[in-house]
Structure formats: C-alpha cells, structure tokens
Amino acid sequence: MYEYETPINLSDIVKNYEVILFDIYGVLLENNIPYTKTIEVVNNLSKSTKICFVSNTPQPVEHSSNRLNIYGINATPQNVYTSGEIAREILKNSSKNLNIDNPIVFHLGPDFKKTVLEDLPIKTTEKIHDANILLLTAFEDYEEKLDQYNSIFQTAIANKAVCLCANPDVINPFENKNRYCAGYFSAIYKSMGGKVVYSGKPHSEIFQAVLNTLALNVKKEKILMIGDTLETDILGANNIGIDSALVLTGNAFRIAKASNVHDQINILKNAFKLKNIYPKYIINII
C-alpha cells in the first residue's frame, strides 16, 4: 500500500511518465477560472510530455478544446476526451452498444448541452413516451429538485427506454452550491428499475479511447491520471491499470478541509480506506 506522508509536487514525478491525463474541472479550472500557474505548468509540460484532457463533460470534444484554448491552455480535439464524445460514439452504433436498432432519443438536460447530439443521424423527440433512449446530461437550472424527473423516469422505464448517462459525476460544487449531475439522477433511474449505460469516468470506455489513440506506443505504467475525485478519476485509472494522482484542489480540497497539511492527509487516508480507492500519489495544486 502507498505511503502518503506529505503531498508531493508534480515536477517530482513527471519524469516517470510519457503521457499525463488531466481532469479539467477541479484540477485545471475552478468555477471556470484557471488555478494560478496552471496554464504555464500544463503548456510547458506539453513540450516534453504527451498531454491529454479527460473530462466528464456531456459535450463534444470541440467544445472543451475551444474552452481550454480561450483560457490559454493548448488543446486540440485530438487530445481531449469527454464523456459527451463517448456518448456520441455509443449513439452512433446503438445497435451494438445499446441493443437498439432504431434509436429515438429524448434529451433531458439544458438546451446548451444538446451539442452532444449535433450532426448525429439520429431521430430525437420531445415526447418521452416515444423515446427508446433517455439521454441524460442534467442539470437544467440552479434550483433543481432531486425528485423533479421522477415522472419522466417512470414513463421511460415503462417503455423500457435505456438511460444513457453522459456525465457520471454525482455532485458538482459550483458557486457555493452543490449541483446534482447526471450521475446522481441516473442512479435514481436505476433504483427505479431502469437500465443505465454510462459514458465517462470511472467507466472504461473513455480511458480505452485514450489507450486506443496511443496504440501500442506507450506502456500503461508510463501513463498518469491526475484528478480531484476518487470515485471517477482515481477509480477509473485504477480499474484500467494506470497510475493516478489525487490533487489537493476541487473535490479533494473540499473533502480534506483542515488547517494544516498533516490533518488533510489523515482525512484523505481515511477516505481512501472507507471507499477502498487509493491513488498512487497525493500532489499539490498544479
């Protein structure tokens, strides 16, 4: 088992890896604002190490790469992997992936997240009783109620619609509020008896997409995932067989609120044991 006496710096371990996967929100950005020095660190690192960005955002890769570019972080659609893009791939071959030959999609989420369906040759509907796929991106507004989708879910389940969860995150702290993500509502759907398919971390498809891009050129032990969330970033990396580092920002910072680093580490170690999810490293802010 790993020892976590004190957080280490990213610069102390990068030499051990050929590819580094960065989560975006909570690692590079907080409330859509880059952390101090993040831009400089990531761009400098990209000169010597292959960088990829792996995010549970329910939108196409172009959206995330454009946003990173706006902040000054060098990214292209070729090195960005999103749960939204994986959802698109699942929908493109729904016969194989969902056992649905003629997909009819009902999107449950805000209008701006409909980009996940852009240019797909797939029929959509505004009537849940006509759908055989419930595409869940959530959240829709700033005052969502945790049972607000239950009637929609009941209709979808009665029609045996498959729920495609395009963001497995459960909670997203934003502007001092907990926003409940698609992962939260998909768990309700499943508890009500519905079938759920997930497209992002910690599930294997998004990590496999990265490995497929790298082909056989890089061994798994030379790949490092950096994230702020145990249940998605770290668990996903562990499951696929690559190293992981939990950064003391975002969700990890919120878990380990303490006045000193020693107490932070102890809180995190208890969380690791409770969840049985262990990163290889704990690192300071990027």
* Confidence band, pLDDT 50/70/90 cuts, at residue 141: low
User: Residues 193, 220: one domain?
Assistant: no
Q: What is the CATH number of the domain that holds 108?
A: 3.40.50.1000
Mean predicted confidence (pLDDT) in 159-169: 97
Mean pLDDT of 132-145: 78
Return the top range by mean pLDDT from 108-112, 163-167, 216-220, 253-257. 163-167
Return the SS3 of 137: coil
Given this model, what pLDDT does residue 169 score? 93
Tell me the pLDDT tens digit for each residue of 185-196.
999 999 999 999
Cα–Cα dist 163/98, whole Å: 10
187 and 217 fall within a common domain: no
Mean pLDDT computed over 121-150: 86
Last residue of a domain, one of 198, 218, 249: 198
Q: Quote the CA–CA distance of 171 and 255 in Å, as a whole number.
A: 13
Say which residues have a Cβ less than 8 Å from residue 255's Cβ, sequence separation at least 6. 267, 268, 271
8 A C-beta contact, residue 279 and residue 234: yes
Residue that the structure tokens 């995330």 belong to: 64
Q: Which CA distances in Å does 119 have to 16, 29, 123, 198?
A: 41, 29, 11, 21
Q: Does residue 78 form part of some domain?
A: no
d(CA 235, CA 271): 13
Are the C-beta atoms of 283 and 8 separated by less than 8 Å? yes
128 and 170 fall within a common domain:
yes
Average the pLDDT over 214-233 and give the result: 93
Asked whether residue 147 falls in the same domain as residue 188, the answer is: yes
Considering the domain boundaries, does residue 172 fall inside one? Answer: yes
* pLDDT computed for residue 254 by the predictor: 87
**22 within a domain of the structure (yes/no):** yes
Pairing of β 195-198 and β 162-165: parallel
Confidence (pTM): 0.93
Domain boundary, last residue among 180, 198, 216: 198
Are 212 and 275 contained in the same domain?
Answer: yes
DSSP β-ladder status, 33-34 and 29-30: antiparallel
Q: Is the pLDDT of residue 173 over 80?
A: no
237-271 tens-digit pLDDT: 999 999 999 999 989 988 888 778 889 999 999 99
Asked whether residue 232 falls in the same domain as residue 274, the answer is yes
| Range 27-43 average pLDDT | 90
Closest CA to 13 of 38, 52, 40, 49: 49
Domain that holds residue 108: 94-198
Pick the last residue of a domain from 198, 224, 246: 198
Same domain? For 274 and 186 the reply is no
Q: What is the pLDDT of residues 54-91, one digit of tens each?
A: 999 999 999 999 999 999 999 999 999 999 999 999 99
Q: Is residue 168 a part of any domain in this protein?
A: yes
Please state the domain count of the chain: 2
Is 234 in the same domain as 181? no
Residues 192 and 209 in one domain: no
Neighbours of 139 (CB within 10 A): 20
Judge whether 226 lies within some domain: yes
Structural contact between residues 168 and 232, judged by C-beta atoms closer than 8 angstroms: yes
Q: How far is CA 143 from CA 64, 139, 146, 148, 180, in A?
A: 25, 9, 10, 10, 10
